[in-house]
Structure 1
Amino acid sequence: MTAVEPEAATRGLVEIHDVHKSYGGVEVLRGIDLTIAPGEVVAILGPSGSGKSTLLRTINHLESVDRGSVTVDGQLIGYEQRGDRLHELREREILKRRTQIGIVFQSFNLFPHLTALENVAEAPIATERLNKADARDLARGLLGLVGLADKAAHYPRQLSGGQQQRVAIARALALKPKVLLFDEPTSALDPELVGEVLDVIRDLAQLGTTLVIVTHEIGFAREVADRVVFVDQGAVVEQGPPSQVLVAPRHRRTKEFLAKVLG
């Protein structure tokens, strides 16, 4: 056993403890407790307005929390502990820690004036992790990984929605994150383009990166996820393997939700 194996074994452990979040007096997250093991693929399901996306965004501190904490491999995200209180870090430190956690949004968010290759290479260059030549080599490899090696010189306007989302996935991978978050990655796509994006995520699930996926694609969650977490009204209602939660749910709310979604 080598000296690096224990560190590798803990790469991507997400621990969410008693997380609360309110907007204007409305409590959106009500004491979320969730542990996601390194390399685990977790699908988060729930009705619109249940707090799924807010929960996802607290993991990389795009949303601050009112109470509780989020750690990745034991390191607080967005905060530091001083005595018995948490204090929010300065933006520079937040950005530094956030590089451990990639996120893919619904709406791609690519830079329109940059090619696919330049979009993917931008983060490693901006964070000074790689020089321009090495970043471009990495970007070419990642575009190949998502099936877009032949689109490196194309601008976002020249790509379909599915292709843009695959570039966004490659960009999220460029900093070699410990954890990769997906916020409804197919919801903005035409139905015929959904499959190509899900295929890429399916491939990523085999690579050992911790994946947390907010999705409405029940069949995909059943196939890819190690665990399904059903969230309603800001709380975890039920969680377990897809064979249990999606096939034989125990909670009334889970049953009602699946009955509506599956028709």
Structure 2
Amino acid sequence: MSTIAATVEPTATSGLVEIHNVRKSYAGVEVLSGIDLTIEPGEVVTILGPSGSGKSTLLRTINHLESVDSGSVTVDGELIGYELRGDRLHELREREILQRRTQVGIVFQSFNLFPHLTALENVTEAPIALKRLSKDDARTSALGLLDRVGLAEKASAYPRQLSGGQQQRVAIARALALKPKVLLFDEPTSALDPELVGEVLDVIRDLAQLGTTLIIVTHEIGFAREVSDRVVFLDHGVVVEQGPPSDVLVNPQNPRTREFLAKVLG
């Protein structure tokens, strides 16, 4: 597989994510309880925590797949999904939300590829639909992205003809197609057979060298230790502990973090 880092210039001058006092409830149950988090341009942050801790919800508020009840999320100082009128936030119209959301790519655990489109068509669909690129330019860009994730020879294959790991790598190429400032990964290996996990982590590992801001929800502790600039441990919608992997994963200070890691690492 050709490495992505060898073919893309680092772009660590953008991608500042600022999460301020974000709260989110479902049916009266608070899932995010006043999250404050700043992620610097080019930083690689992994979010750990037990099921139901709010990890995926937090990730989805960053690109406004989930609205917030209060607080704010900005990318390079720009609100995603809202505009400020006076001292109140107002949700934008769907078309404006989609335009701003292009700054933040997301890769889901379940791939979410269009089954009736080839790998190439899945990657070209958004740049063409949003009129970012002509069909020819979108095709050229998509072929380059598929090559970067090691799937140049699968451009004409449909999702059903690909393994889970290959589908996830196509999903990563699709997320890169709009050249986002920030990339979100929501447990990108959890739906994969164990022998396919490595090929997806290899691609993310290469992305981590680019200077693009990466925010990764994962249960892969060893991978988090290797690739992260910072690890954030979330529990019951609260940031319990955060810091370098050498601190949080090796010598956690909070008893809840220690308990979680002891269970996960067995």
TM-score (norm 2): 0.95
Match of 2:101? 98
Q: Which runs of 5+ in 2 are unaligned?
A: 1-10
Q: What are the equivalent positions in structure 2 for 1:120-199 lying under 5 Å apart?
A: 120-199=123-202
Give 3-state SS (helix, strand or coil) of 2:67's partner. coil
Question: Percent identity of the aligned residues?
Answer: 86
Taking the aligned partners of 1:76 and 1:116, their CA distance within structure 2 comes to: 32
Q: What are the equivalent positions in structure 2 for 1:1-263 lying under 5 Å apart?
A: 10-263=13-266
Taking the aligned partners of 1:109 and 1:177, their CA distance within structure 2 comes to: 18
User: Any runs of at least 4 consecutive aligned residues in structure 1 with deviations exceeding 4 A, and if so which?
Assistant: none
Taking the aligned partners of 2:118 and 2:263, their CA distance within structure 1 comes to: 41
Structure 2 counterpart of 1:24, one-letter code: A
Match of 2:4? none
Structure 1 counterpart of 2:139, one-letter code: R
- Larger RCO (CA under 8 A, 6+ residues apart): 2
Match of 1:3? none
Match of 2:6? none
Structure 1 counterpart of 2:100, one-letter code: R
Q: How far off is 1:253 after superposition?
A: 0.3
Taking the aligned partners of 1:94 and 1:10, their CA distance within structure 2 comes to: 23
* Mapped contact 2:13–2:42 kept (Cα < 8 A): no
Q: How far off is 1:10 after superposition?
A: 4.1
Give 3-state SS (helix, strand or coil) of 2:33's partner. strand
- Give a deviation string over 1:22-53, Cα, whole Å, max 9, x none: 00000000000000000000000000000000
Taking the aligned partners of 1:14 and 1:45, their CA distance within structure 2 comes to: 18
- Give a deviation string over 1:102-155, Cα, whole Å, max 9, x none: 000000010111110110011100000001010000000000010001100100
Give 3-state SS (helix, strand or coil) of 1:249's partner. coil
- Give a deviation string over 1:172-227, Cα, whole Å, max 9, x none: 00000000000000000000000000000000000110000000000000000000
* Mapped contact 2:24–2:69 kept (Cα < 8 A): yes
Give 3-state SS (helix, strand or coil) of 2:183's partner. strand
Taking the aligned partners of 1:200 and 1:46, their CA distance within structure 2 comes to: 23
Aligned residues: 256
* Mapped contact 2:12–2:211 kept (Cα < 8 A): no
Structure 2 counterpart of 1:226, one-letter code: D
* Mapped contact 1:17–1:68 kept (Cα < 8 A): yes
Structure 2 counterpart of 1:18, one-letter code: N
Give 3-state SS (helix, strand or coil) of 2:252's partner. coil
